[in-house]
Structure 1
Amino acid sequence: MELVTPGIGLIFWQTITFLIVLFLLGKFAWKPIMNALNDREASIENALRSAEKAKLEMEALQADNQKLLAEARLERDNILKEASVAANNMVESAKQKANEEGAKMIAQAREAIENEKRAAIAEVKNMAGALSVEIAERILRTELSDPKAQQALAQRYISEVTLN
């Protein structure tokens, strides 16, 4: 059991050696180690603060990007809507103009047909009048006393005359 239980002298010298090492470490090594640990802790804390600040800035930039993207989409939709309205207006304007031109041309054609019809009726009336005058003139030249002869003469003149 002596091997397991240390002697008083050994414990004394170990305690003295421990105290000397503790004093030397406290005097020369403890402050630099603590300063190094404090510096390391401060740099880690600064890095964490910087990372948090960068994270907040990134979130702000992403929010700005989302806002700009939404505005761009809205503007694109407005431009497309305005272009569609303008195209529809142009189509409607062209349709209306074509309808007006068509109606105008139809009115002109009807007027031309009406004028041609009036001219044809006037020509027929003039031909009928000239024919009547000619028949009357021929009848007057012939014997006015015989009604049968007048009627036969009128029938013969009518058959000779062709209407164009």
Structure 2
Amino acid sequence: MQLLMPALGYFVWTLVAFLIVFFILKKFAWKPILTALSDREKNIADSIATAEKIKVEMAQMKSENEALMVKAREERAQMLKEAKEIKDRIISEAKEQAKEEASKIMVDAQATIEQKKNAAITEVKNSIGSMVIEVTEKVIRRELAGKAEQEAYIRDIARELSAGRN
């Protein structure tokens, strides 16, 4: 049992040493330790408050970013819609212009065809007229074989023309 219970002398000296160390620590170290603990507690509380504030700001920034993303998506959708409308309008304008050009080309082609047709008809009429004159001339020459008959025929025609003018 002696091993479990120290002698009274050791107990007293241990108590005296403890009290001396306690008073020295209380006089010189207790305030700085408490101040340091208080400062550390305050620093930790400030850090927690700052972290909470940053957390709130981050949540707010996240919601703002989401709102900006939604707005950007809406603007992109609007731009795509406008681009599609512009594309459709340009295509329809190009189609209309192509139709107008095709119509103009058709009208010009028809006018050209009509002119060429009239020119061909005129040319055919002129060549038929020339042929008729040549044939008539050959027939008359054969009928009027003599020079005297030709001169008499020419005088008759000249008289008819003169009479027709008067």
> What TM-score does the superposition give when structure 2 sets the normalisation length?
0.58
Structure 2: gaps spanning 5 or more residues? 133-166
User: Displacement of 1:70 after TM fit?
Assistant: 3.0
Which structure has more relative contact order (CA 8 Å, sep 6+)? It is 1
- Provide closer, same or farther for how the CA distance between residues 93 and 4 of structure 1 changes in structure 2, counting only shifts above 3 A: closer
- Provide Cα deviations, 1:58-101, integer angstroms capped at 9, x if missing partner: 33223323332332332233222212211211111121122123
Match of 2:61 in 1: 61
Kindly tell me the number of residue pairs found equivalent between the two proteins.
Answer: 135
d(CA) in 1 for partners of 2:4, 2:99: 122
Letter in 1 for 2:67: K
d(CA) in 2 for partners of 1:18, 1:9: 14
Q: Identity across aligned pairs (percent)?
A: 44
User: Displacement of 1:121 after TM fit?
Assistant: 8.2
d(CA) in 2 for partners of 1:85, 1:103: 27
Match of 2:99 in 1: 99
Structure 1: gaps spanning 5 or more residues? 132-164
Range moving further from structure 2, 49-58 or 86-95: 49-58
Q: Where in structure 2 are the equivalents of 1:140-155 lying within 5 Å?
A: none
User: Displacement of 1:54 after TM fit?
Assistant: 2.0
Structure 2 SS opposite 1:99: helix
